[in-house]
């Protein structure tokens, strides 16, 4: 018995010596929940594949990816890089690529991609470009997203609208929104009744908003970008800010029209009654707002918090007479980056390469209930995808009118400035022209300053 | 020097060492480093580039710098005055001889034990324009309350009012000061026919004036460093319409979001100097009215 044990140990110990020690790399991931689990599955597959490889080839040292979930990854990653202790690989949002690259926080993936024979034309052009900045490739897209107009079909029916016909023009959206607005009106005799429309003649003290057709501020996640839906843009190339573009002014006049029609205080009071986004009290899920601009992920929240909700998705409407602006959407993506001074850039790149293959991307994007950034899509992907509107969202992502957060190193600052301008416009404290001209002046100065800083750092 | 002296000196230094190291590493070095960085472009990730006083001249031209300085001054003034009145009043009330006074003291002190983040989230609910307890209460007495944190005209005031929540700390210090006032002074005042107000103004306040001075200086310093409440309740943009963009919040945005650590260091130094001047002014003023009965 003892001899047998000793022999067994001897055999296994010597076998262990033959094997190469695994090459461990750390991967920082931002998602928790089901999105995180989808990435867990990909990491497990990769690690298993590496172990299998090592079994066949004893001289091969398998790569072992350790996934660490990190909240506020966009900030913690910078601090880790600055502190000289970055992870080998990290997931990030595409809109931080420019600021990170300007700050010198990323590894240029170009040489490695070239060596690996990476085919950028396999990707939907728009998403691929998100990782490219100042002529270099800093990030590879893995999970893309797009946004559309979501409508509540039950409320459409109640308002006498055809639930299968979402608005196609902004004018139609405004008309539907008015019809979908419901109030509780207190009559002089104290009696209460429900009325729809905007009721400009009823004083605020005698009416209470029960349901809004549409609110530009709900959820307001893309309020910097309303201009794009009207043919505007926030930047023109890397060196010019165009916040006060005439199309942007038209867009924010439209945003302000909702404050005018419903009343600023009415909207504020109404909105403060909304619950958290990820809860059944969400304004759209609870039927308080009939139409919202939302992303491909909303399907999952509907399933989770309002499983019975009858909803539809359609491209966000375009201004009447401008069909060339149809299919405008925000299209950003989750990306993989290799931080500057990553301890194991080559191993990290191996994992990146693995994730970027079609079957793995499809598994990941299916798990996260989004579409894939690749042009080719398998039939299986379409047939098992739970979101009934997934093809629409992908089509939006491929549209020539897809826009992203501008690739500029001053985006955080620009975003705050736009947020404040939208605040001023929605409160009707300032006209869009005044507010956006102010943003343009300030951000042009900030961009010039950023260029000066970059020039001082690298006089070449 | 005898050998005992040198042993004493060595031991003395050894005992001071932890503090000396702490002071140098965690206070002096950051202070000096921040000053150097304030003269540079510094993104944290790349070596700093020296640019002289550019950050300071840019700061003087930055409307957000002035806006956030004004917001913070408003908050500090409001919270210092309100804090002084509320905590002193509470301390006076809790300095009476009634049954179960210990219980009352505990109750009024409790809120200041709550972490600022938790307190802020609680107040966020209380300030809710539609269903918050404050507006519900106001509604019962026939007042339609504002949307508080969503209303640029009220958001700053709302955060000032919230400062009362933390009055417990100052209250305890006042209470200790009040209990230190010699009873014979009150007895003499009563014999001279002084009523409550006369005793308060001529005995109590002069006797606790060093404590008032201490609390005021501390709350000025705390007021100018306000950050958490606004960050939690109205977000890092200082919404609505930047009415709650406090100085340190602005500094945080510039330093940690925009990675302009040099500019943020310049802001930190300006704040340091502002607080230094105010503390110095308070100290000079105090020489006129603070009584030290020692």
Q: How far is A82 from chain B (nearest CA, A)?
A: 5
**What CA–CA distance (Å, rounded) separates B250 from A446?**
15
Q: How far is A103 from chain B (nearest CA, A)?
A: 6
User: Residue A331 — very low, low, confident or very high, per pLDDT cuts 50/70/90?
Assistant: very high
Residue A385, helix vs strand vs coil:
coil
Q: How far is A208 from chain B (nearest CA, A)?
A: 11
Q: What is the pLDDT of residues A49-95, one digit of tens each?
A: 999 999 999 999 999 999 999 998 988 998 899 888 999 999 999 99
For residue A173, the Cα-to-chain-centroid distance in whole angstroms is 24
Q: What is the pLDDT of residues A90-110, one digit of tens each?
A: 999 999 999 889 888 999 999
pTM (2 d.p.): 0.89
| A97 contact B CB<8A | no
Is the preceding omega at residue A219 within 30 degrees of 0, hence cis?
yes
| A340 contact B CB<8A | yes
Q: Are A85 and A340 in contact (CB under 8 A)?
A: no
Contacts 24+ apart (CB under 8 A), A183-188: A183/A207, A183/A208, A183/A209, A183/A210, A184/A208, A184/A210
Percentage with pLDDT > 70 across chain B: 99
Residue B43 has pLDDT above 80, yes or no: yes
Q: What is the pLDDT of residues B242-265, one digit of tens each?
A: 999 999 999 999 998 888 999 999
Question: Mean pLDDT, to the nearest integer, of A439-457?
Answer: 92
**What CA–CA distance (Å, rounded) separates A224 from A426?**
12
What pLDDT shows up at residue A430?
96
ipTM value of the model? 0.87
**What CA–CA distance (Å, rounded) separates A96 from A83?**
19
Identity of the residue in B44, B132, B151 whose CB atom sits nearest the CB atom of A82? B44
Does the beta-carbon distance from B241 to A424 stay under 8 Å? yes
User: Residue A1 — very low, low, confident or very high, per pLDDT cuts 50/70/90?
Assistant: very low
Q: What is the pLDDT of residues A124-155, one digit of tens each?
A: 999 999 999 989 999 999 999 999 999 999 99
Q: What is the pLDDT of residues A158-213, one digit of tens each?
A: 999 999 999 999 999 999 999 999 999 999 898 999 999 999 999 888 999 999 99
Does the beta-carbon distance from A272 to B45 stay under 8 Å? no
Of B220, B233, B202, the residue nearest B282 (C-alpha): B220
Q: Best interface-test mutation with A: which of B37, B40, B44, B62 has the largest number of A CBs within 10 A?
A: B44
What pLDDT shows up at residue A75?
85
Question: Mean pLDDT, to the nearest integer, of A225-233?
Answer: 96
Residues in contact with A30: Cβ distance below 8 Å, sequence separation at least 6, in sequence order: A69, A70, A71, A73, A74, A91, A92, A93, A334
**What CA–CA distance (Å, rounded) separates A81 from A253?**
43
User: Residue B293 — very low, low, confident or very high, per pLDDT cuts 50/70/90?
Assistant: low
Residue A13 has pLDDT above 50, yes or no: no
- Window A:427-446, CB contacts with B under 8 Å: 427, 429, 442
CA closest to A99 among chain B residues: B258
Does the beta-carbon distance from A456 to B242 stay under 8 Å? no
Q: Write the secondary structure of chain B as one string of H (helix), E (strand) and C (coil).
A: CCHHHHHHHHHHHHHHHHHHHHHHHHHHHHHHHHHHHCCEECCCCCCCEECCCHHHHHHHCCHHHHHHHHHHHHHHHHHHHHHHHHHHHHHHHCCCCCCCHHHHHHHHHHHHHCCHHHHHHHHHHHCCCCCCHHHHHHHHCCCCCCCHHHCCCCHHHHHHHHHHHHHHHHHHHHHHHHHCCCHHHHHHHHHCCCCHHHHHHHHHHHHHHHHHHHHHHHHHHHHHCCCHHHHHHCCCCCCCCCCCCCHHHHHHHHHHHCCCHHHHHHHHHHHHHHHHHHHHHHHHHHHHHCCCCC
Q: Are B259 and A81 in contact (CB under 8 A)?
A: no
Residue A10 has pLDDT above 70, yes or no: no
């Amino acid at each position: 018995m003892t001899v047998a044990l000793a022999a067994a140990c001897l055999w296994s110990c010597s076998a262990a010596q033959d094997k190469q020690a695994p090459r461990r790399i750390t991967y920082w991931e931002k998602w928790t929940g089901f999105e995180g689990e989808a990435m867990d599955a990909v990491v497990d597959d990769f690690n298993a594949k590496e172990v299998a490889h090592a079994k066949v080839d004893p001289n091969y040292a398998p790569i072992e990816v350790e996934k660490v979930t990190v909240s506020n990854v966009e900030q913690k990653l910078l601090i880790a890089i600055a502190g000289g202790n970055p992870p080998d690989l990290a997931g990030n949002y595409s809109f931080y690529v420019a600021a990170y690259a300007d700050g010198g926080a990323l590894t240029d993936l170009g040489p490695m991609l070239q060596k690996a024979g990476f085919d950028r034309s396999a990707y939907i052009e728009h998403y691929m470009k998100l990782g490219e900045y100042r002529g270099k490739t800093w990030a590879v897209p893995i999970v893309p997203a797009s946004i559309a107009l979501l409508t509540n079909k039950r409320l459409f029916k109640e308002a006498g609208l055809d639930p299968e016909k979402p608005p196609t023009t902004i004018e139609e959206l405004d008309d539907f929104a008015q019809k979908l607005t419901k109030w509780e009106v207190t009559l002089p005799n104290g009696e209460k009744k429900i009325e729809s429309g905007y009721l400009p003649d009823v004083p605020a003290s005698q009416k209470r908003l029960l349901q809004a057709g549409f609110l530009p501020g709900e959820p307001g996640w893309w309020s910097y970008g309303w201009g794009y839906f009207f043919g505007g843009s926030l930047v023109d190339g890397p060196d010019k800010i165009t916040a006060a573009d005439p199309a942007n002014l038209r867009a924010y006049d439209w945003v302000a029209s909702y404050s005018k029609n419903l009343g600023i205080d009415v909207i504020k009071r109404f909105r403060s009654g909304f619950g958290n986004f990820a809860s059944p009290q969400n304004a759209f899920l609870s039927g308080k707002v009939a139409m919202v601009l939302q992303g491909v992920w909303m399907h999952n929240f509907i399933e989770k918090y309002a499983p019975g909700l009858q909803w539809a998705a359609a491209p966000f409407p375009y201004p009447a007479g401008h069909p060339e602006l149809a299919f405008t959407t925000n299209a950003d993506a989750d990306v993989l980056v290799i931080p500057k001074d990553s301890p194991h850039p080559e191993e990290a790149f191996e994992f990146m390469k693995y994730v970027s293959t079609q079957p793995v991307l499809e598994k990941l994007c299916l798990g996260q209930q989004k579409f894939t950034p690749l042009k080719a899509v398998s039939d299986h992907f379409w047939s098992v995808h739970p979101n009934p509107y997934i093809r629409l969202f992908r089509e939006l992502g491929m549209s020539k009118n897809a826009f992203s957060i501008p690739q500029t190193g001053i985006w955080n600052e620009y975003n705050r400035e736009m947020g404040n301008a939208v605040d001023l416009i929605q409160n009707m404290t300032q006209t869009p022209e005044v507010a956006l001209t102010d943003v343009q002046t300030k951000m042009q100065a900030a961009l010039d300053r950023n260029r000066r800083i970059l020039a001082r750092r690298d006089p070449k | 020097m005898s050998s005992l002296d040198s042993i004493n000196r060595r031991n003395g230094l050894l005992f001071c060492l932890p503090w000396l190291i702490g002071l140098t590493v965690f206070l002096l070095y950051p202070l000096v480093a921040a000053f150097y960085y304030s003269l540079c472009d510094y993104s944290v990730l790349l070596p700093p580039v020296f640019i002289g006083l550019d950050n300071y001249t840019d700061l003087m031209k930055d409307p957000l710098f002035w806006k956030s300085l004004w917001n913070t001054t408003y908050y500090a003034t409001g919270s210092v005055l309100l804090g002084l009145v509320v905590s002193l009043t509470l301390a006076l009330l809790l300095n009476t001889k009634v049954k179960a006074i210990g219980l009352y003291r505990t109750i009024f002190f409790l809120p200041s034990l709550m972490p600022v983040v938790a307190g802020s989230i609680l107040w966020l609910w209380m300030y809710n324009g539609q269903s918050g307890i404050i507006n519900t209460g106001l509604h019962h007495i026939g007042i339609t309350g504002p949307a508080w944190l969503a209303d640029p005209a009220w958001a700053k005031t709302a955060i000032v009012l919230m400062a009362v929540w933390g009055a417990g700390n100052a209250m305890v210090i006042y209470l200790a000061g009040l209990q230190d006032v010699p009873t014979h002074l009150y007895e003499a005042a009563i014999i001279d026919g002084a009523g409550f107000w006369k005793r308060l103004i001529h005995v109590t306040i002069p006797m606790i004036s060093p404590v008032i001075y201490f609390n005021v200086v501390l709350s000025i310093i705390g007021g100018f460093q306000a950050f958490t409440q606004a960050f939690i309740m109205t977000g890092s943009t200082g919404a609505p319409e930047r009415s709650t963009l406090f100085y340190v919040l602005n500094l945080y945005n510039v330093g940690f979001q925009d990675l302009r650590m040099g500019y943020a260091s310049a802001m930190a130094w300006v704040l340091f100097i502002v607080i230094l001047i105010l503390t110095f002014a308070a100290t000079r003023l105090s020489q006129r009215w603070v009584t030290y009965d020692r």
